[in-house]
Each structure stands twice: as structure tokens, then as C-alpha cells.
Structure 1
């Protein structure tokens, strides 16, 4: 190890101090996930058409709100046309939604008081079978998008869901409001459709790798100093890890963290190279495979966004 490298380590340790990390450190990563369906890269406007069924109207309103609110890099992603507007659109969104409620009597075992003292205080509890009422809310939604240019269905998904609750004699609870349960199901469907039709930007805190197993004492101390630095100056922590790598140090934690640094600054090609190197060092490590997928998804989302902007999809 060179004298310059050793001096840099000692200087950095003096600057950072010896306070121990109380929790796992993170780097904030900004990115974008692609739409679940690739068919919508060239769909700019969508007309909300008829939604049948008992909850069709509610889902139509929820979808209109969700899709109208989609923005990517500050730009509206869709032009959503509600009602029976005469304005032409690229595609139409329609569907059918029902929610049935069924109740029936049943029995179940519950712990109940079977003996009380003279002050009416329970002294014996047992598990006994009691009368109950079971309620099942069966929700079914079907959503379809048809492209006007060729009349082809470019999206068709079903969203089945069931909510079951049993209330027994003597329970200290009531049935959840069926209206609120169905509203939650409708909202979940609207969110799922939104993610299928449009990309989503995000900001996530991703944990760095902190294991120093296999490092020399000097390497370990310098690496630990960089970990502490992430609390106040992530760029300096990244510089320190690059410095360690430039000295010839090879370690899964170092390589992975450098990948996070590259991803954080938006250099996705460098991030991918580093994550692939980390995967060669420690094949199948979940943090690495997850980061490889995240960067791959981000690149695909950016490619699709560029196609949408240039109109060459």
C-alpha cells in the first residue's frame, strides 16, 4: 500500500472522528419504473367511456382522477377526456365492476368467560364454540383499453378481490363499513391500472452494504469512515470509495456502494457495470440482483419516455 494512500486514510479518519453508526446508512436514489404495459408509449389521450356494474361509476371517476394526475418530469402524461366529449382521442377506457355482499350464519371457537365470582369478575375462560355471522364482499373489476386507430384492444385486465370478516356473539368489534371496504378495492384497482398504463418516478433510500469482512484493518477503517460520511456528505463518501477502488481494493461492499453512487448521480451505465461486477464477486446476492433490476427498469423507462417525446414509438 502506498504512503499517499495510508496518509489519506489517517487524515480522513481524523476528520470524520470515531462516532459509531447507530443505524444502517442509505443513499437516496431517484429513478423511474416503466409502465406495466408497453402499448401506451404512443397513447397521448384517453377517453373515459362507459363502466357498467354497481361500482362502475366509482371506478370510472377514480381512474379519471388517477390518470389525470400522472406527471413525468413535470409534464402531464395523458390527456384524459371524461364523459361523452366529442374531442377525438387515441384510445378509450371502459370496463365493468361489481361488488356483491353475502352474509351467512356459522360458528367458530372463541375464548369466553364460563365462570364468574360473586363480584361478577371472570375467573375461568375457555375456548368454546359460539354463534357467528360471516360476511364476504366479492369484488370483480374488468378494465379494457381500445386503440381508436385500429380498433384493437391493447389492454385487458381483471381485478378480482375478496374481503371476508366473521363476527361472533360476544366479540368487541363490528363489521367494517362495506362502503369503505369497496372504496378501498376501487382505489386499489385504479392504482394498479395507473401503474400498468404509465411510468412512475420515485425517490428511494437504498441501504449501502456495510460488511467489511475480508478487508485489512487499514481498508476497513477507511471504508467505515466513508460509511459515516454518508450521513453528512454522500458525494464525499462516494469519492472515498472511488479512491479505495483506485488503490486496487476489491470487495463486494465497495463495488456495490460505488454502484449506488453512480446510480445516484444518474450514470446508469456505470452503475450497471458496477452492479454486474458486484454480482460476479458475490453471485445471487439479493441487494445486487435487486439493484440490477432497478437500473434495468430505469433505463427502459427512460428509453420509452424518449420514444414518447420524439413520437417514434
Structure 2
């Protein structure tokens, strides 16, 4: 068998594997990811104070837009005060942004044309050292939140970033606009701060476990039939897995999938019990560990949401 055929077969096998992965059965899970900074569970209003540095004002504007746009369960999460106001906010955000641009000459290897034919078509290429210019943009934003009630700093974070681009003699490109690079860095900082201060609603497709190793033929066939049902009727698939468990079947795939079913219908306590049981079957299994973390995080987010709502009363 020649190398071309071997290569073709390898590509087909790879594509087949990717297709199988893409067609894996899933259950859709909706939830709430907790904010990275639990101190903000009781913060209802935020004022955007002074941000120093040449790009500080741009970050302040971006933060005002981002935080104003956060909604949870259809309700605005923060009352954002962007300028001077007679209303005292629960917390104040301030900070500083520094950015520096440096360019220096260097060399690098590039593939270049060294010979052309009479029609100006390149016939010989060669890797050779050429003169280049490297531009580095160093960025750092420092952000702090101060709580009004006690003057305590409840959030302090630094956001460093760097962009480096090298353009060589003969390259068919130019440096990206430094302004666009900085805008991207500022947007990334604002996004990270939003995730730190507020929870995030999510909708994810989580793969079920499909392994039937250790099941009897009858159990395996019934389990496989339930898997097929996930495409058209997830509730029926879940009912079938419950039926299998009710008939005394015990298996990590069955237990884990029942956990996904419980999580999908919002029964977080039930889901946690199933995932903990699955973890006893196979300690440290990635899918189980991730699900345990996801449910625990969802529960914490809901607890913080209830705490927040009690503060509105």
C-alpha cells in the first residue's frame, strides 16, 4: 500500500473520529456561575470613580457599559453610577491604566524568493536572515473597589497584558493599529472584572456517559435505547434510566446520567448525590469532577442571589 493511500486512510479515520465526537449525545444544562468575588453579593450599586492613566478613561467607560448591561434572571444586577451623583453607591470602583509601546530592530529567518523565471514567477525559495522591526505593547490595569459602609477595600486586582508583533523586510503585512490592540486589552479587562463581580447565566451541552462495560446484554440494550432517546426526548431518556435503576441496575454511566437529568430539571441536591455516588465508582473521573464543581458553584451562586434579594427588601 503506497504512502498516498496510507495518508488518505489516516485522514478518513481522523475525520470519522471527529464526526463521532461531534455526534456524541448530550443533555442541555442551564445554570448560574457564581461571581469570583463573593463580597459583591450584597453590593447593589456601584459608582465608577477616577481611573488614572492615558487609557484610564477608556476603561472606566467600558466598565460602565459592561456592568450596566449585566442581567440575572432578567433583572439588572447593578445600579451603575457613571458620574457625580447625589446618591451614595454601595461601592466605588477606581484604578489606573498604564500602557507603553516599544519598538526595536531585530533579525529573523524568513522564506524569501531568490530566483525568478522570465515570467517573474519565483522558482527558488530560501530561508534567510532578514532585518525586522519588533513592536511590544505592555499593558497593565490596576482596579480597586471600596465599600462605602466601612471604607474597606473589597476587591483589588491587577490585569497585565502584552502584545508583541514582528514585521520583517519583505513581509506582506504591517503592524496592527496600537489603538485597536489597546481597545482589545481594555475590553478584556472589563470582561474579566465583570466575571469577578457578578454571576453569569450559562447554557451548556454536557456529554452523557455512554460506556456499557460491565452491563449485561439486556441492561446494555435498554441503556443504549435510552441514549438514542436523548436526541428527541430527553425526559423519556431520563425516565428510562430511572426505570433501570429502579430495577436494581448499578453502573457509573447510569448514575452519572441520572445526575445530569436531575441537574437539567433543577434538582441540584439530587444531582449532587448522583455525582458523589458516581465519584465513588471512579474517583477523580474528569466528567464527574467537573459536574461536582459545576453543581457546587451553581448552588453557591443561588445562595448569593437569595442573599442579594433579601438585601433589596
TM-score with structure 2 setting the length: 0.91
Q: Which moved more, 1:110-119 or 1:146-155?
A: 110-119
Q: 1:151: how far off? A: 0.9
- Alignment correspondent of 2:53: 53
Pairing 1:126-141 to 2, within 5 Å after superposition:
126-141=126-141
- Alignment correspondent of 1:75: 75
Q: Which moved more, 1:149-158 or 1:213-222?
A: 213-222
1:27 aligned counterpart, secondary structure: strand
Aligned residues: 293
- Alignment correspondent of 2:3: none
Q: Are 2:52 and 1:62 aligned?
A: no
2:155 aligned counterpart, secondary structure: strand
- Alignment correspondent of 1:239: 239
| RMSD of aligned alpha carbons | 1.5
Q: Are 2:118 and 1:114 aligned?
A: no
Q: Distance in 1 between matches of 2:279 and 2:44?
A: 39
Q: Distance in 2 between matches of 1:223 and 1:181?
A: 52
Which digits, 9 at most, give the CA deviation of each residue in 1:103-144, with x for residues without a partner? 111100011112222332222211110011101111110011
TM-score with structure 1 setting the length: 0.91
- Alignment correspondent of 2:290: 290
Which digits, 9 at most, give the CA deviation of each residue in 1:172-208, with x for residues without a partner? 2221121111111101100110111111111111111
Q: Distance in 1 between matches of 2:120 and 2:204?
A: 55
Check whether the contact 1:29–1:206 (CA below 8 A) recurs between aligned residues.
yes
Pairing 1:137-286 to 2, within 5 Å after superposition:
137-286=137-286
- Alignment correspondent of 2:16: none
Q: Distance in 1 between matches of 2:39 and 2:121?
A: 66
Q: 1:21: how far off? A: 10
Q: 1:167: how far off? A: 0.8
- Alignment correspondent of 1:125: 125
Q: Distance in 2 between matches of 1:189 and 1:119?
A: 52
2:182 aligned counterpart, secondary structure: helix
Q: Are 2:111 and 1:102 aligned?
A: no
- Alignment correspondent of 1:26: 26
Q: 1:22: how far off? A: 7.8
Q: Which moved more, 1:35-44 or 1:115-124?
A: 115-124
Q: Distance in 2 between matches of 1:175 and 1:25?
A: 45
1:260 aligned counterpart, secondary structure: helix
2:250 aligned counterpart, secondary structure: coil
Q: 1:219: how far off? A: 1.3
1:311 aligned counterpart, secondary structure: helix
- Change over 3 Å in CA distance of 1:114–1:155 after alignment to 2: same
Structure 1 segments, 4+ long, off by >6 Å, are none
What are structure 1's unaligned runs of at least 5 residues? 1-19
Q: Distance in 2 between matches of 1:166 and 1:206?
A: 41
2:42 aligned counterpart, secondary structure: coil
What are structure 2's unaligned runs of at least 5 residues? 1-19
- Alignment correspondent of 2:17: none
Check whether the contact 1:21–1:228 (CA below 8 A) recurs between aligned residues.
no
- Change over 3 Å in CA distance of 1:59–1:253 after alignment to 2: same
